[in-house]
């Protein structure tokens, strides 16, 4: 005795081609989504992976040989400036030990007495573990301004598994100020300047619009900073096929939300400067291909500060404005700080 076969509607002969098409389309869609998810993960890892050490060349893959040669000179300057007077500082946030070096500038004989009570917090860029910003420390110290060089999260010698490219933890700078004041006591600086380069510039600009910004931050100086993480991501992936680019960036954002605690409405450099009142000086190289010059134009246009300046350094590539401009670079910075101090005094 044989059982009579049962024919179901969805597997009838006339419907089988459509089923095959639907299954095929579904399979292709799943493969596409998996590929985009993987691509988004690659973008996330590229942006947040810490450098492996001071000789990690991966952090320099986007810069010219000229840039590398310029930054290598930082080691010589570091040996000249770190003479034993410096103070190593450490704070702990979110279970991470963050470290930095404070170099007093008040004893410099060539310093301007106007600047002797100040401190420049010099914030480095993406994957910079070589201490290259020591090059910017010397002019401050010679002017009598003390210098603090923090190592951002995930940059040796500070701890951390992922680089904060979205500048979510910009308020680490506020905690550093408290630590400096506590450690130095009566000899602590009476005013501060935030000076950032590249990712460091985006960090100090994001801090500039926070209502918790200490009143004794007299100026913010930002060189080649990006408007936001998303804008920077879109710029760096501009060569990708549009069908791949949009979803990949979307999935990269998901990784940032899940793994790093970023939120949709976190402040960016662009949204923060629109609320800023602190004097702001924005610098950018005209030939910057890594962070495009138009970003600084958007930033200065959006900046709400009454005292603000914008300087495009002709011929300078990314993070090379100081090298190209030479002595004019620190001169303009110090001039702006002088204006900012006068501005602060006039508003008391």
| Contact call for residues 285 and 318 (beta carbons, < 8 A) | yes
In residues, how long is the chain? 348
Q: Taking the C-alpha atoms of 274, 276, 280 and 285 in order, what is their torsion angle to the nearest 10 degrees?
A: -30
| Contact call for residues 88 and 150 (beta carbons, < 8 A) | no
Exposure string (b/e) for 284-294, b if CB count within 10 Å is 16 or more?
bbeebebbbbe
Radius of gyration of the chain (CA): 25
Structure tokens at 178: 């408290």
Nearest residue to 155 via CA among 97, 228, 95, 196 = 97
* CATH assignment of 64-228+268-346, among 3.40.1280.10, 3.40.50.300, 3.40.50.1820, 3.40.718.10: 3.40.50.1820
Angle between helices 74-81 and 134-142 (to 10 degrees): 40
Q: What distances in angstroms separate CA 181 from CA 72, 170, 178, 217, one per listed residue?
A: 32, 18, 5, 13
Peptide bond preceding 157 in cis form (omega within 30 of 0): yes
What one-character DSSP code corresponds to residue 131?
Answer: -
Apex 105 CA angle, 99 and 107, nearest 5 = 135
Nearest residue to 147 via CA among 346, 347, 6, 333 = 333
Alpha-carbon gap, residue 27 to 16, rounded angstroms: 16
Alpha-carbon gap, residue 133 to 340, rounded angstroms: 22
**What global pTM score does this model have?**
0.88
Flag residues of the chain having pLDDT under 70.
1-15, 53-64, 66-67, 106-113, 130
Apex 108 CA angle, 104 and 114, nearest 5 = 90
Alpha-carbon gap, residue 328 to 182, rounded angstroms: 35
Domain boundaries, the chain: 64-228+268-346
pLDDT digits (tens, 9 = 90+) for 31-79: 889 999 999 999 999 999 998 765 554 445 555 676 677 777 777 788 7
| Contact call for residues 101 and 31 (beta carbons, < 8 A) | no
Structure tokens at 151: 């190592």
Q: For the chain, where are the E strands, in sequence order?
A: 87-93, 96-103, 118-123, 146-150, 191-197, 217-223, 280-285, 308-313
Q: For 203-327, where are the E strands, in sequence order?
A: 217-223, 280-285, 308-313
pLDDT of res. 130: 66
Q: What end-to-end distance do the CA atoms of the chain give, in Å?
A: 103
Alpha-carbon gap, residue 347 to 67, rounded angstroms: 41
Average pLDDT along the chain: 89
């Amino acid at each position: 005795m044989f059982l009579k076969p049962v024919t179901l509607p969805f597997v009838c002969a006339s419907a089988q081609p459509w089923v095959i098409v639907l299954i095929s389309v579904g399979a292709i869609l799943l493969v596409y989504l998996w590929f985009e998810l993987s691509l988004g993960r690659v973008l996330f890892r590229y942006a947040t992976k810490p450098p492996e050490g001071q000789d990690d060349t991966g952090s320099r893959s986007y810069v010219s040989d000229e840039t590398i040669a310029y930054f290598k000179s930082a080691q010589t300057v570091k040996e000249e400036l770190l003479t034993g007077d410096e103070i190593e500082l450490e704070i702990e946030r979110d279970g991470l030990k963050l470290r930095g070096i404070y170099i007093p500038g008040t004893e410099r004989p060539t310093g301007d007495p106007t600047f002797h009570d100040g401190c420049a917090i010099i914030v480095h860029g993406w994957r910079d573990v070589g201490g290259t910003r020591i090059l910017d420390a010397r002019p401050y110290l010679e002017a009598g301004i003390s210098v603090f060089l923090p190592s951002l999260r995930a940059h040796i010698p500070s701890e951390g598994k992922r680089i904060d490219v979205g500048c979510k933890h910009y308020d680490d700078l506020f905690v550093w100020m408290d630590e400096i004041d506590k450690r130095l006591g009566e000899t602590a600086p009476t005013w501060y300047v935030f000076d950032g380069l590249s990712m460091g510039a985006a960090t100090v600009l994001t801090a500039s619009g926070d209502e918790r910004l200490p009143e004794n931050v007299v100026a913010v100086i930002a060189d080649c900073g990006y408007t936001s993480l998303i804008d920077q991501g879109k710029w760096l992936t501009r060569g990708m096929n549009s069908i791949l680019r949009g979803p990949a960036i979307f999935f990269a954002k998901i990784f940032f939300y899940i793994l790093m605690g970023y939120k949709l409405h976190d402040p960016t450099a662009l949204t923060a400067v629109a609320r800023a009142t602190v004097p702001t000086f924005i610098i950018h190289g005209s030939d910057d291909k890594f962070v495009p010059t138009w970003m600084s134009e958007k930033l200065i246009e959006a900046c709400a500060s009454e005292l603000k300046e914008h300087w495009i350094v002709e011929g300078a590539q990314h993070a090379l404005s100081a090298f190209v401009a030479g002595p004019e670079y620190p001169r303009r910075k110090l001039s702006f700080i002088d204006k900012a101090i006068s501005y602060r005094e006039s508003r008391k």
